Structure 1
Amino acid sequence: MIVMLLSAVDMSAARKRTRSVTSVKQEQKANAQAIKKTSQQLDENAKATSRTLNALNTLGAEIRQQNDSIASINHQIDSIDSAMKHINDSIVTLDGKLAALRDSYARSVTRIKNSQQGSMDKLAFIFSAESFTQAYRRFRYLGEFSKWRKRRNDEIKEVQARLEKQRDELTRLQGVKSGMLTRMNVARNDLEKKQNETSALVAKLKKEGASLKKVLRQKEAQARALDNELDRLIAEEQRRQAEEKRKEQERLLAEENARKKQQQKEQEAKAA
């Protein structure tokens, strides 16, 4: 394991040594382009998020307005319910009155028939009287009864017409109420659906924005690291060049000294 770790360290060091100023500058250029692209994406994301938030606020205002409309519709529905209750009560009353009229009419007719003692018709009922006075009374009675019967029939027909009108009005109000409830529920569901979709889009855009910011921070950190690495490589290159220049100067000086020593030896040899 120690050998493997040392080998890894050596490989890392070798990679660092093999990196040149040119390769780091190329990587810097690519990283700068990536930062520019990510910044543009962030700007577009921020604009889209702003537009979507505005749309969400607009929907919120529409929903508040719709809630006001719903409250108004509910008030109208309450009024309709009250009217329907009144109509139902009226129908119950009219039904009772109609039943009472029909019962009274039937009992009255039955009494008249019984009073006629089985006579075949009105004339027989009149002429079967024991005296002229009784016949006259029967004649007047039958006339009054006929008028009463007509009035009672008219009254029954009037109550039946009122009852039918009330039932028609009740049916109409029920239709109006049903239509209002349907429109209200459709409008509410549509706005709630749009609000949920827009909220989901806002959440998605914010998540994408956070990811883009994270990428941008990483790229900026990488840019700083590349700047530092480039400074280090340039410094190393400058030190290497200075070292090579120093060695070259030392070599030239050594050659010059050696040449001078050789000349001195040759002069000494000539002198000798």
Structure 2
Amino acid sequence: MCFPTSRIFKQQFNNSTALKIYSGLFVVLLCFSFFDSFSQTKRKDRLEAEKRQNLQKIKDLNKIIDKTSEKKEASVGKLNAISERIHKQAKQIDLLTENQQLLEVEVDELNRVKGELSGNLEKLKREYAKMVFAASKSSDRYNKLSFLFSASSFNQLARRYKYLQQYSEARKKQAELIEKVRADLVAEQVKVLQKKQEQSQVLREKITETQNLETLKSKQGEVVEQLSKKEKELKAQLENNKQAVSRLENMIASIVEREIRRSQEREKAARIARQKAEDAENRTESKKDREKEREVDTREERIVDNRSIAMNDEEIKLATSFNSLRGRMPLPVSSGFISDHFGVHNHPVLKGVMMNNNGVDIQTNAGNDVKVVYDGIVQMVVLIPGVNMVVTVQHGDYFTVYSKLSNVTVSSGQKVKMGQKIGVVATDNDGTSEINFQIWKNTSRQNPEAWLRGR
């Protein structure tokens, strides 16, 4: 016959088993919450970094706009700066929108965790109440001593004593777990409140940035309207610019052709020297040897006709390392934006008028240093009306060209290192400070935007 106390303690044992199950579920819940939080944190860190970088670019653009605004009259440089500022402003709004979406996901996740914690807390409370109720019943009817001494054997008494210890420990752990879940629930409630405050802050920022965007678009429209009234002046400027660009292109082409010719003459002289050395070693030539010599001469003539630089080992190494910069080349100025793109495109104001750029124009702050993008040899420093000072640097069979400079600090024939200052950006009469940057491979023009790293 089984004592009532035994049935009660069996019920308490079932309650302690439930405690273990809930404890395991609680740990699993916390693990899933941790991994979700880690993923969201990485995404948030990336987003915050993008926002900081974009805000810095906006700050730099504001300086450029302020400088061009010192001249009361509208200019293409001012229009380009405002247009780029609008682009960055729109990007900032997009980043804030993404931030809002991320916060919504985080709030939903926190609410989910909060709900599960709340549910688990209620279950734990119910189970604990059952344990307390069962314990009170056993305490009323039979004390622990009667439960122990009612054992039929010593072994059974030992088992009952051990069980009482385990049960007491289980109640203690259940009480601790309830407090732990309650504390975590409060923490999750605080997090939800903080996230909602962040949401409100991001919303206010987005509203402000949207208002700024509308203001910028209004300014852009005003500048376009003012420039449209200066069509005759703009066309004259464009014609003068075309002539300056033509002079610059002819100068670059002449430098490239000169270096091609020099390199091929050098290579031909080296070949002839090698051939003479071979002839000196063997004075008796067979018909086959003479045919081989004529074949060598023919190859030499083909090299002279080829429109590429004949490079030595050092130049090949330099050109190869320069080529590896594609897509990660630094800007030749510390800050700025591409104000005019490579190739043929529409004029920003004059309708139906096309422009052609052999490189890119990079608008920056007045007085900024201009730096060479890679190791090389200065091949030409020259003043060309319309584009100011021009520096051409050779990198094997590649050439980089920097125009619209002032205060040039290098000279022809000088070896330069990557990042070395070669001059200062010039500022035109409209208050626009920009350089023209070109990349050539032999006689072929390259698109610098494919080389420059993400801005």
TM-score by length of 1: 0.47
Larger radius of gyration: 1
TM-score by length of 2: 0.30
